[in-house]
Amino acid sequence: MPQNIGKWKDLQLLSNFVVAKDTGHSIVELRKLEHLHQTLCISGLDHIFSEGDALEANLRGKKYLIGLVLKWGGDTESSEKDRKVLETLQPHTNLRELKIEFYGGTRFPNWVGDHSFSNLASITIRNCIEFYGSSTCGIKPFRSLKYLRFKDMLEWQEWCCVGGNQEEGGILPNLCRLHLRNCPKLTKILPLDNLPKLEEVSLLGLISFGGSFSQEPQCPKFLSLNGMHTLLPFLEYLHIDSCPELESFPEGGLPPALKSLDFGCNKKLYASSKKWGLERLNSLVALSIIFEECEDIVDSFPEEGLLPTTLTHLHLSNHLNLTMLDGKELLHLKSLKRLIISNCPKLKCCPEGLPTALSRLEIAKCPLLEQRCEREKGEDWPKISHIPAIYICD
């Protein structure tokens, strides 16, 4: 950064301000830069001498900023100092996007999530490894927020709720995307009825979570998906994986707006396949099924009426006992454009008929099928030669 940047009172764009450890730039230099626009990133916040310096930076007076990134260095000397610094770095309420990284405090100040930030649409909080949560750290009703992401929150235990009800639209009535990643001690999150407009949800590495829904790997305590069809009516993307105790999809069906479903299918879940209700998902276009420990299940797929005719993409993987694809059922998928088959070592041949709309076929780790589909030579080549794009890898 240039010297004396604090004197550039008319400066409008400053992408990254680095707080020096000893001599060099102090955060106080931001005090008079009241015309900053776009997004400002402040790194090295662990080098701030005191919360008084942070207060002098006057972030609250920078009304033209739409994005703010606050970064500590990861080596926390005092969680209380970090908390006080963050408290004094409160930005103007015009802010639309906030990111907090490597913060060392055990809780967040009151302004984080305060309803006065009526324009704030996106919050990302990551690598706050000391934060554990408490009964006083709840989220208040936050009507403007559309995107919320937490990542690498190693001590976070509980997501508390403060205020908000169904009549008011819940805690986060307009949230569209929720991502929680690597929060190994988190046992509880917001009830789904607080997220009425959720479209995309992703949970990864929540090894202590045993709550009401789950979308990504490592949720071993997860049993059911009850109530998703009514609680998440706008959900479009759902990924379920490594949930070995999951026994069934919800009794009332999956969310009706689903466009993409990607799930790991264990033995218990496959046993209830006639009750999956996928055929009722009129918006579903992409389906990926990864079979998990299903060596002794049926050797043919799919069962009659199992798949919705709206599918354009289908991926089947890891079915170690699969020997045959039911061509009659696949022919019902008149919109299917892409078919991926991987790690099905016993699959012997392609079905007699494939959907005429199919434009891409991918085969991997299926040695018997690969041999039969060898270009110009394989016995099944005449069945697939009309497909424009064919990819076969061992």
283, 305 Cβ separation under 8 angstroms = no
> Could you give the CA distance from residue 163 to residue 154 in angstroms, rounded to a whole number?
26
What are the distances in angstroms from CA 338 to CA 239, 356, 390?
19, 11, 10
Q: Is the pLDDT of residue 215 over 70?
A: no
pLDDT value at position 90?
Answer: 94
> Could you give the CA distance from residue 261 to residue 236 in angstroms, rounded to a whole number?
8
196-206 residue pLDDT tens: 777 777 767 76
Residue at 46: amino acid letter:
D
Residue 326 CB partners (closer than 8 Å, separation 6+): 300, 301, 302, 303, 304, 351
CB atoms within 10 A of CB 341: 22
> Could you give the CA distance from residue 142 to residue 361 in angstroms, rounded to a whole number?
45
> Could you give the CA distance from residue 40 to residue 34 in angstroms, rounded to a whole number?
12
- What angle (nearest 5°) sits at the alpha carbon of residue 155, between those of residues 153 and 160? 85
> Is 0.85 surpassed by the pTM of this model?
no
Average pLDDT of the chain is 82
Q: Is the pLDDT of residue 236 over 70?
A: yes
What does the block give as tokens for 265? 């299918």
What are the distances in angstroms from CA 283 to CA 240, 254, 375?
18, 12, 35
Residue 188 main-chain phi, psi, to 5 deg: -145, 135
Of the candidate CATH numbers 4.10.800, 2.60.40, 3.80.10, 3.10.400, the domain formed by 1-131 belongs to 3.80.10
255, 229 Cβ separation under 8 angstroms = yes
58-93 residue pLDDT tens: 999 999 999 999 999 877 678 888 989 999 999 999
Q: How many CA atoms lie within 13 A of 188 on its CB side?
A: 11
Q: Is the pLDDT of residue 167 over 70?
A: no
pLDDT value at position 338?
Answer: 98
What are the distances in angstroms from CA 308 to CA 26, 37, 260, 334, 365?
60, 48, 12, 10, 26
136: confidence class by pLDDT, cuts 50, 70, 90: very low
| Ramachandran area for residue 112 (φ above 0: left; ψ -120 to 50: alpha; else beta) | beta
Q: Do the two domains 1-131 and 265-394 of this chain adopt the same fold?
A: yes
* Mean pLDDT of all residues in 30-36: 89
Domain boundaries in the chain?
1-131, 265-394
336, 330 Cβ separation under 8 angstroms = yes
pLDDT value at position 211?
Answer: 45
pLDDT value at position 94?
Answer: 95
Strand partners, 287: 261, 314
CATH class of this structure's domain 265-394: alpha beta
pLDDT value at position 226?
Answer: 55
